[in-house]
Amino acid sequence: MQVLKFGGTSVGSAANIERVGEILNQTQGTKVVVLSAMSGVTNLLVQIYEAVIYNKPEDVDNGIDAIRFKHFEAVNLLFSEANIASQVLLKLDDYLEELKAITVGDLRPSTYAEIVTLGESMSTYMISAYLNHAGLSNVLLDAKEFMYVGQVENPSIATVSEKLQPILVQNPSQIYITQGFVCRDEQGTVTTLKRGGSDFSATIIGAAVDASEVQIWTDIDGLHNNDPRYVDGTKPIDHLTYNEAAELAYFGAKILHPQTVAPVIDRDIPVWLKNTFEPQAHGTKISNEYHNRGLKAISAKDDITAIKIRSNRMLGAHGFLRTIFEVFDRHETSIDMITTSEVAISLTIDNAQNLQAIVTELSVIAEITVEQDHSIICIVGENLIEDQTSYKAFGLLNNLPVRMISYGGSNNNISLLVPTKEKVNALRYLNQQLFQLQEALA
């Protein structure tokens, strides 16, 4: 069994949905297909939720109208028979009526998830109906019946498997369609795997069914060795290890959700990153295989806040570091980078939601300096710090406005903190020095 995930762009229009149908038709064997909402729909649903919070019913209605138009336009292009199209449109209107009912009801802890996951419910219903219409018989599964992940950060694969396997046995098919992003927490309440979480859905399901592989289909031919949005001449990487992919995803590679590979590592299930619009392209294979070590790729993570903590007393005083980490732990704020000197600690966070409360607590024991609008640039490769060429990265630092360096915490990355306004120049410079010049000399 394979698991194939298609993102929002891949199902963002009738023409793209037809491409998805072609890919599924050419893929042999049993498949679980995980789908995102149509591109732009989740953003509209988030706006609808915000309109509910701020009591703006007109904005709610406008958002629902926009969602209706996008889906109805696709249906009218996908279905050649008017009576079938009418049935699909009626069902989609039922979903929109459900959405409307949620927006006028009392707010609950699950209201946000109930609203924003309706995009996946609508896309999977529409695409399942289209595939049946096109001769690709399939079974539509409700992810809320089996995606009992418990803790989102550490999903219970065993529970998902226990609930999903009987459903598959009772509904034999070559193609199963289900929703990404949506799940249930430890209390069984509907929640989400956070934005971009459909990738994570796919690997959780892949682990739960012991899939032969997971394929993640997007609009780019694999993970590139730098960010193609800012850097010209980037190249897709044929192979990555799980560790390399995890580092790149966590430090900003947008093609992959940061937690994607975690469920499949111990089961050694390969993950492929493929391009819906160039299905013949090789893409990127993520697995335990070592094809070559050393430098592989560069990624960047924005919205980083740097915090410098200068002790009022001696930094080495017993319990000082523990006290600092306990402050961040209490405010559920993770630390990305950390460096220490004799008198100060510098660290970075990527979530400033509780920054003021953190600073208030730390100010009792230390002088605090905060700098926002920074980016972490991550240079990644398996056993990078042991590679004989890794020293070249440090020879480049004189030309970069680096505020902090993390080296040695992982064998697989060197992290540099730079002002975000300098990020693009830094990415281009590193790409030229670490990739292009080396290729020219090879």
Amino acid 375: pLDDT: 96
> 118-133 and 41-53 helices cross at what angle (nearest 10)?
150
Nearest CA among 110, 121, 202 for reference residue 160: 202
- The domain ranges of the chain are 2-218, 297-441
Q: Which residues have a Cβ under 8 Å from the Cβ of 26 and sit 6 or more positions away? A: 279
**Dihedral, CA of residue 159, residue 162, residue 164 and residue 167, to nearest 10:** -150
Amino acid 442: pLDDT: 46
Answer whether 2-218 and 297-441 agree in fold: no
Rounded to whole angstroms, the Cα distance separating 119 from 42 reads: 6
Q: Which residues have a Cβ under 8 Å from the Cβ of 121 and sit 6 or more positions away? A: 95, 179, 182
Q: What is the residue type of 191?
A: T
Nearest CA among 412, 442, 406, 379 for reference residue 225: 379
Nearest CA among 308, 313, 298, 218 for reference residue 11: 218
Which CATH number applies to 297-441? 3.30.2130.10
Per-residue HEC secondary structure of the chain comes to: CEEEEECCCCCCCHHHHHHHHHHHHHCCCCEEEEECCCCCHHHHHHHHHHHHHCCCHHHHHHHHHHHHHHHHHHHHHHCCCHHHHHHHHHHHHHHHHHHHHHHHCCCCCCHHHHHHCHHHHHHHHHHHHHHHHCCCCCEECCHHHCCEEEECCEECHHHHHHHHHHHHHHCCCCEEEEECCEEEECCCCEEECCCCCHHHHHHHHHHHCCCCEEEEEECCCCCECCCCCCCCCCCECCEEEHHHHHHHHHCCCCCCCCCCCHHHHCCCCCEEEEECCCCCCCCEEEECCCCCCCCCEEEEEEEEEEEEEEECCCCCCCCHHHHHHHHHHHCCCCEEEEEECCCEEEEEECCCCCHHHHHHHHCCCEEEEEEEEEEEEEEECCCHHHCCCCHHHHHCHHHCCCCEEEECCCCCEEEEEEEHHHHHHHHHHHHHHHHHHHHHHC
Amino acid 321: pLDDT: 83
Amino acid 441: pLDDT: 44
Rounded to whole angstroms, the Cα distance separating 355 from 348 reads: 11
| Confidence (pTM) | 0.91
Place of tokens 């100060």: 344
* CA distances in angstroms from 213 to 21, 223, 265, 287, listed in the order given: 19, 17, 12, 10
Amino acid 190: pLDDT: 95
Residue ranges, the chain, pLDDT below 70: 312-318, 385, 387-394, 408-409, 437-442
Angle at 351 between CA 346 and CA 353, to 5 degrees: 115
Amino acid 414: pLDDT: 87
In this structure, which topology does domain 2-218 adopt according to CATH? Carbamate kinase (3.40.1160)
Rounded to whole angstroms, the Cα distance separating 195 from 182 reads: 10
Amino acid 72: pLDDT: 97
